[in-house]
Structure 1
Amino acid sequence: MVTATATRPVGDLLRDWRRRRRLSQLELSNEAGISTRHLSFLETGRARPSRDMVLRLTERLDVPLRDRNGLLMAAGFAPVYRERSIDSPEMRPARQALNRVLDGHEPYPALVVDRLWNLVMANEAAMLFLEGLPEDLVRPPINIHRLALHPRGLAARAVNLPEVRAHLVARMARQVALTGDPQLTALHEETRAYGGGDDDGPHEPSHDIALPTRLRYDDQVLAFFSTVTTFGTAEDVTLAELAIEAFFPADDETAAFLRRRAEARHG
């Protein structure tokens, strides 16, 4: 499935993506190895791009695979990139690889999300984040971004909520700016409204590297930081849109708690 961009002229779409990447026509034409005049003609519709030209320009613009298919269709060509369900037989090797990553991260939480931050897969340790939350928030499809910021979700447990909220809101804002995805935009607007948006606290650049998230569980505060891994070389739309978020203990007490919890699960 591709986005609904195929109803717009391909030149308009190319111009939108160039502007989203903050490139001038001269800069993009230099990167793509074409003349500025030709690029201008493509954007205004005075010239029709070839299939190879669409692929060349969308690669230089780092357009997501889903939207590359949309631009190809707008130019009159068939989509190039396949989109298969993660549960399809053809995706079994990918599922196995993802499971190895998740299992290998035990006893620490790790999960796989799609482009909209919907939960796709998770290891046993990650179930900690779902325990005791309202049923409507943990009913599939579970949206991790919503779960983190909803007042009845993990936000109710976060000791350092203003910092966490500012970081997550800023991260989503960057994704919206890079992709222009209307569904991401709607999710961003929804979750910003939970806590008043940008008034909740400043976003510190250092938080992009390691922001501890402190969550209260009973009489203990657990501290985590996380890393996000994406598949930059994937040629399948589904795989290209998946991300692994791996959580690590930010202190010795949290690490010991997670080890004890894993030992109790496995006897």
Structure 2
Amino acid sequence: MDTVGELLRQWRQRRRLSQLDLALAADVSARHVSLVETGRSRPSAEMVLRLAAQLDVPLRERNRLLLAAGFAPRYEERPLDGDALGAAREAVARVLRAHEPYPAVVIDRRWNVVMTNRAVDPFFADVDPELLRPPVNMVRLGLDPRGFASRLVNLADVRAVFRARLGRQLAAVPDPGLTTLYEELLAPGEGDEGDAVTVADDVVLPMVFRIDGRELRLFSTITTFGTPRDITLDEIAIEMYYPADEESAAWFSALSGDVPAVRIRPNE
């Protein structure tokens, strides 16, 4: 098992900071940072958390740092559909409802879908039921021919975006489950030079879906909680999709007559 000093050094190097950089940001001496990393000084829980905050360490990994230093974890991981996170869940549900008639999904750190609004249903309608068994994974949905791949006009562009996003995510926060997903669906194969984004004229790269005999062009934005104190909230993101042209907007407007609904999709 890695010591707290070894873990902190790994995070510092991952963030490409020197010991002096970290010391200045955390308002401690560079010598103290060095002593902690080499195990010659045992940091307090408060010092561990101070350094972790400056290194932008996720809450799950802050618990790991605390345990390595001999302290109890500080952050709980409670289910999004439980009573403790009721207010946060309702806030997320309000965002999803407000975004209709356009689709929105809530994903966790491994891109598993945990909530959706009603507007995603037309996109899920023709998906193989096997892919909709929990946990429903957005990367697998997007790249599997039984999911969205057969309906994505610019599949190579979308694959390139997935590869870049997951690559950045893994560089920032290593995760075995996400690494497995990346290697399964996105790692270049033999002779594969990688996908290149070919759409150069758009302000943002759209996803182009072929659905109901027409092409829908969508772009997305991502929303996260600003100051989470729970691991679940720290690791979820709301991905909201918008029409990229008037024709796509008109198609979605035709879906807006029903009462909005929010779906909670348990991962287990």
- TM-score, normalised to structure 1, is 0.91
Higher helix share: 1
1:50-199 equivalences under 5 Å are 50-193=44-187, 199=193
Distance 1:196 1:100, change over 3 A: farther
Match of 2:33 in 1: 39
Distance 1:239 1:191, change over 3 A: same
Query: What's the secondary structure of 2:238's corresponding residue?
Result: strand
> In the alignment, which of 249, 252, 258 is matched to residue 255 of structure 1?
249
Distance 1:250 1:62, change over 3 A: same
Q: Deviations over 1:167-211 (max 9, x none)?
A: 111001000000011211111111214887973422589899721
Distance 1:129 1:17, change over 3 A: same
Contact 2:156 2:197 (C-alpha < 8 Å) held by counterparts:
no
- TM-score, normalised to structure 2, is 0.90
Contact 1:54 1:71 (C-alpha < 8 Å) held by counterparts:
yes
Distance in 1 between residues matched to 2:196 and 2:14, nearest whole Å: 24
Distance in 2 between residues matched to 1:197 and 1:71, nearest whole Å: 41
> Could you list the runs of 5+ residues in structure 2 that have no partner in the other structure?
261-268
- The answer to which structure, 1 or 2, has the higher relative contact order (CA under 8 A, 6+ apart) is 2
Distance 1:52 1:67, change over 3 A: same
Q: Deviations over 1:108-153 (max 9, x none)?
A: 0011111111111100001222111111111111011211122332
Q: Deviations over 1:68-89 (max 9, x none)?
A: 0110011000111121111111
Distance in 2 between residues matched to 1:238 and 1:203, nearest whole Å: 33
Query: What's the secondary structure of 1:121's corresponding residue?
Result: strand
Distance in 2 between residues matched to 1:124 and 1:214, nearest whole Å: 20
Distance in 2 between residues matched to 1:207 and 1:260, nearest whole Å: 28
Distance 1:243 1:195, change over 3 A: farther
Query: What's the secondary structure of 1:126's corresponding residue?
Result: helix
> Could you list the runs of 5+ residues in structure 1 that have no partner in the other structure?
1-6
Distance in 1 between residues matched to 2:11 and 2:85, nearest whole Å: 30
Query: What's the secondary structure of 2:114's corresponding residue?
Result: strand
Distance 1:116 1:185, change over 3 A: same
> In the alignment, which of 12, 15, 28 is matched to residue 21 of structure 1?
15
- Identical counterparts, % of pairs: 52
Query: What's the secondary structure of 2:123's corresponding residue?
Result: helix
Contact 1:165 1:200 (C-alpha < 8 Å) held by counterparts:
no
Query: What's the secondary structure of 1:226's corresponding residue?
Result: strand
Distance in 1 between residues matched to 2:18 and 2:199, nearest whole Å: 27
Distance 1:205 1:175, change over 3 A: farther
